[in-house]
Amino acid sequence: MRAGLVLLALAGLATAIGGTGPARADDAPLACDGGDAHRVAGDDGAVLRYRPLPDPPPINRPFAIEVLVCADGRPLTGRLSFDARMPAHGHGTNYLPAIRPLGAGRARVGDVLLHMPGHWQAELVLRAPERAVGFRFALTP
């Protein structure tokens, strides 16, 4: 099931573009209560913290994104899906991301490859037992 299709079915999809704060590869693990990772607000108070490694992401080379979804200040766990698309071009990536849990709600989205320069829109969905939350954020290599 493609993440994009999942996203379309979600009501109240977070549409925040971009995020705040630069990130460094040697940062401490992502946390709900701060740090300098990017932050995207979602629906019902959910928040995505994410950190491309490296930041900004490279063009046409694999990279990873560390992610953490929080609700009420605590990590929200569930099934993650990720996709990235170029809205102006009408296509997504050519490679499926490899998502690996890191513990404490954190996950690593690996093998992301943005094969063209330009504006990419990342889409991340977390489906927890009681809710699903989606986030969109810009990835511009």
Partner 1 sequence: MIRALLAVLLVLPVGAGAGAGETGDPAAIYSAGERATILAHGPWPPAPARDPSNAVSGDPAAIAFGGRLFEEHRLSSNRRMACASCHLSHRAFTDGQPVSTGQGPIHRNAPSVLNSGLMRWFGWDGASDSLWAASLRPLLAVEEMALGLAGTAAFIRGDAAHAADYARVFARPAAADPDETVAVNVAKAIAAWQETQVSPRTPFDAFRDALASGDRPAMRRYPAAARRGLKLFVGEGRCSVCHFGPLFTSGEFESTGLAHFRSDGRVDPGRHGGIREMQASRYNRLGPFSADRTGPRARLSRQVAVRHRNWGAFKVPSLRNVAQTAPYMHDGSLADLEAVVRHYSELDIERLHADGERILNPLRLDRRAADDLLVFLRSLSAGAGPPSASR
Stretch that binds partner 1, among 9-17, 31-39, 47-55, 85-93 (CB under 8 A): 85-93
Residue 111 near residue 97, CB atoms below 8 Å: yes
Q: Is 88 a residue that touches partner 1 (CB under 8 A)?
A: yes
Give the CA dihedral 60, 23, 2, 74, nearest 10 degrees.
Answer: 170
CB of 141 to partner 1, least distance (A): 11
Distance CA 96, CA 111 (A): 7
Residues in contact with 34: Cβ distance below 8 Å, sequence separation at least 6, in sequence order? none
Q: Is 113 a residue that touches partner 1 (CB under 8 A)?
A: yes
CB of 31 or CB of 113, closer to partner 1? 113
Size of the site for partner 1 (CB under 8 A): 20
Pick the binder of partner 1 from 12, 18, 45, 118 (CB under 8 A). Answer: 118
CB of 16 or CB of 113, closer to partner 1? 113
Say which residue the tokens 């990835």 belong to. 139
- Residue 9's H or E segment, with its range, is helix 3-9
Q: Which positions lie near partner 1, rule CB under 8 A?
A: 59-60, 62, 88-91, 93-98, 110-111, 113, 115-118
